[in-house]
Amino acid sequence: MSSPSPKLRHCALAAAAVLALAAPVARAASLAATPSQAEGPFYPRTMPSERDNDLTQVAGQPPAQGTRLYLAGRVLKVDGAPLSGAVVELWQCDSFGRYHHVGDDGGPRDDGFQGYGATTTDAEGRYAFKTIRPVAYGGRVPHMHFKIRAPNGAALTTQLYVKGDATAGDPVLAMSPAGTLGKLTVSLSPAAGKEPGALTGNFDFVLR
């Protein structure tokens, strides 16, 4: 069998180059970036001594009050590639509606709830937290705060809401662009094999 002519080989190489260039472009537009939201006034002023990814237990204190929530997911780039080594921070109020480590004084508080935690994504971009189902407080619907810092310097600050919770009148959502809530909602379901009544949820964060 005769070899392809130089002209045909040139056309084939040119076509392959076009496809190689087009593929990353098509992939780069495959995922929508997770919307950002305000950090709020309750990010820790100083980091607590305990800041692991289990917010339900503080040394020397009884277990935190509230429904256990096992939240996990991935941190991804807009092209779908996992972001390993990204730091994921989570902070939220306790079952009494109190934030910790920020001077949120007044009213009861749950000293068994850590209030803030952090973890680092693995090689597949995965993260996981054990916390409590968020509760409403002071005009805000139940939510959790997140800050994700990628090794390349990219960062995202946002909030996560629970599917099915009433959200009318929430001031942060009221100031958000249309469609934001649908992109920041996590579905919860019973967590098999965990504490009675525990819930589980999965959410992927996408960074630009």
- 130 band by pLDDT with thresholds 50, 70 and 90: very high
- Determine whether domain 31-207 maps to CATH 2.30.110.10: no
**pLDDT, tens only, 26-50:** 444 589 999 999 998 899 988 888 9
Per the CB < 8 A criterion, the answer to whether 130 and 68 are in contact is yes
What does the buried/exposed string (b/e) look like for 22-57 if buried means 16 or more CB atoms within 10 Å of the residue's CB?
Answer: eeeeeeeeebeebbebeeeebeeeeeeeebebebbe
pLDDT at position 41, please? Answer: 84
**pLDDT surpassing 70 at residue 8:** no
Span 84-93, average pLDDT: 98
Residue 14 pLDDT > 80: no
Residue found under tokens 């970036």: 33
Tell me, rounded to whole angstroms, the distance of Cα 48 from its chain centroid.
Answer: 20
Binned at pLDDT 50, 70 and 90, residue 5 comes out as low
The 10s digit of each residue's pLDDT in 65-82 is 999 999 999 999 999 999
End-to-end CA, the chain: 50
Domain residue limits, the chain: 1-30, 31-207
Q: Percentage of the chain with pLDDT > 90?
A: 76
- C-alpha to C-alpha distance for 133 and 188, rounded to whole angstroms: 9
Q: How confident is the model at residue 16 (pLDDT cuts 50, 70, 90)?
A: very low
pLDDT of residue 24: 46
- Please give the DSSP secondary-structure letter assigned to residue 10: H
- Amino acid (one-letter) located at 200: T
CA torsion sign for 91, 162, 32, 19 is positive
Q: How far apart are CA 80 and CA 85, in angstroms?
A: 16
